[in-house]
Structure 1
Amino acid sequence: MKRSTLSEDVYATLRSAVLEHSLAPGDRLNIDALARELEVSPTPVREALARMESEGLVRKRALAGYTVSPLLTRDEFADLFDMRLLLECAAARRAATHATDEQRSELLVQAAFTVGSDAEGTWHAAFTAQDAQLHHLVAEASASPLLLDAFTRLHAHLHLHRRYFPYSHAAVTHQEHHALAQAIAGRDPGGAEDAMRRHLEKARDRHLAAFTQ
C-alpha cells in the first residue's frame, strides 16, 4: 500500500511539473537527479516516467533517456483538432444514447466544476484535470472501446498546450462544458454533437493564441 501511494505521489508531482512547465518542453530528465530531489529511490521515478511516456508527456530515446515532449507545431495542432472534431463529436452523439444514468450524473457534476481564483496562479492544474476528465467521461460514455482508446492517445498531445490557455476564458469553457453535459444528460444526440463541435471549435481558437506569443 505504501509503495503504491509513493508511486502515485511521485507520478502526480512529476506530471504537475511537466504540465506547469517547471520541467519545460525539451528538458532532459535525469532519473537519479529527480530521485534525489524528491527523496525517493529511482524506481518510483522510473515508473512515473514510463507512465507519462504512455500519455505522451515525455519521450524516451535509446541511450539518451527521457525528455519532456515538445510543444506541437501550428500545423500539428490544427491536425490534432481536426481529428478531435471527428472523434469527439461522434463520441458525444453516442454518449447521449449509450451513457448510463451514473455517467450522466457524473458528467453534470464535472461540468459544474469551476477553477476558482487565479490569484496564486495555481488554476492551470485544476483546469487541466477537470477538462481532461470531462472529455474522457464523454468518450467513456460512448460505450465504444475503440473510440475511447483513440481519444486517449490523441488527447495526450494537448496536455502541454494547456499551460498557455488564457484564464480569462475559463468561465466560457465552463459554460460550454455545461451545455454539453446537459445535452448528454437529456439524451439529445444531435444537441450533444452540436455542443461538442461548438466547444472544440471555440477551444481551438482560444488555444491558437499560444502560437502568437
Structure 2
Amino acid sequence: MNVDDRLLAAIPRRSSLADEVYTILERRLIEGTIAAGSSIIIDGLAKEFAVSHTPIREALARLESTGLVSRTAHRGYRAAPLSTVEELANLMEARVTIEPRCAALASQALSDAFLAELTAAVEALDAYDGSRDFHLFWEADARFHQLIATNTGNRFLAAAFEALGGHVQRFRLFGALGGSDIQFAALEHGRILDAIRAGDAEAAEREMAAHLTNARDRATADRSVIAEL
C-alpha cells in the first residue's frame, strides 16, 4: 500500500473529501508524480479515488489559488510548469515582505504550546542528516514557518503567508533533486527560534529577514539549495 492508498483508506467518510483529495494531489504535484505541464484528468481522478467529480473540482480550485495548477477554458486543468529563477526572486521578495513581520508579532504572542511546537520543528531540522526521506526536512521546515504565521494574531498576514504555500513547495522540489544547504537552514531557524523565545520582536524580525535573504542568495548561486526555502 503506497502513501496515497494509506491516505485514502484513512479518510473518515464524514470528513471533507475535497480536503483529502487536495492533500494527495498537492503531494503528487510537489513530488513531480504529476509532471509539470501535464493535463489533469478529472474523470480519471474521480475513478481512482472512488468519489464524484465535485471534491476533485473543489480540490483543483484550491490548488489553482496556490499556483500549483492552472485552468484554461475548454482545456481543463494542468500542472504548473517548472518555476524559473525570476519567479524565485519574486517569491522571495514577497516572503521578505511578509514573514519578518510575522516573526516579530509571534514573539509577542508566546504560549507554552507554540514554543514547544516551534522547538520540535527546529529539532527535526537539526536532526536531519540527508540520509532519510527528504520530505521529513520539508515538513519540518514548512511547519516552522506555518506556526509562526498562524501565531501572529493577524489573520490577514496568516492568509497572505498561506497564499504563498504552494509556490514555496514548488521550489522545494528543485532541492530534492539537487541537494540542499541543510546546515545553514537549520542554524538560521535556530536563531529565529531563540529570538522569538526571548520575546525580542526586533531580533525575530531581523533573523527571519536574514534567513530569507541568505536563502535567496544561496539559491541564486546554486539552485540545488532551493529545498531550504
Shorter-chain-normalised TM-score: which range? 0.7 to 0.9
The offset of 1:182, in angstroms, is: 1.8
Tell me the residue number matched to 2:121: 110
Corresponding residue number in structure 1 for 2:217: 205
Q: Please give the alpha-carbon distance, in whole angstroms, between the structure 2 residues aligned to 1:43 and 1:191.
A: 47
Partner of 1:86: 97
Q: How big is the alpha-carbon RMSD for the aligned residues of Structure 1 and Structure 2?
A: 2.5
Match of 2:181 in 1: 169
Runs of 5+ consecutive residues of structure 2 not aligned to the other structure: 1-11, 225-229
Q: What is the letter of the counterpart of residue 75 of structure 1?
A: E
Calculate the TM-score normalised by the size of structure 1: 0.84
Is the counterpart of residue 58 in structure 1 residue 66 in structure 2? no
Contact 1:88 1:196 in 2 (8 A): yes
Q: How many angstroms does 1:42 deviate by?
A: 3.6
Counterparts of 2:69 and 2:204, CA distance in 1: 33
Structure with the bigger RCO (C-alpha within 8 Å, sep 6+) is 1
In 1, distance between residues paired with 2:190 and 2:161? 20
Residue 5 of structure 2 corresponds to: none
Please say if 1:31 is aligned against 2:47: no
Aligned equivalent of 2:197, options 173, 178, 185: 185
Is contact 1:18-1:57 (8 Å) kept?
yes
Count of aligned residue pairs for this structure pair: 209
Could you say which residue in structure 1 is the equivalent of 2:60? 49
Match of 2:107 in 1: 96
Pairing 1:146–2:185 present:
no
Q: How does 1:15-30 map to 2 (within 5 A)?
A: 15-30=26-41
Relative to the length of structure 2, the TM-score reads 0.79
Unaligned runs of 5+ in 1: none
Letter of the structure 2 residue corresponding to residue 154 of structure 1: L
8 Å Cα contact 2:40/2:78 also seen in 1: yes
When residues 197 and 18 of structure 1 are mapped into structure 2, their CA distance, relative to the original with a 3 A threshold, is same
Identity across aligned pairs (percent)? 34
Residue 39 of structure 1 deviates from its aligned partner by: 5.1
**Residue 128 (1) aligns with residue 138 (2):** yes
Q: Residues 81-120 of structure 1, C-alpha deviation per residue, up to 9 Å, x if partnerless?
A: 1221121111111211133342222211222113746456
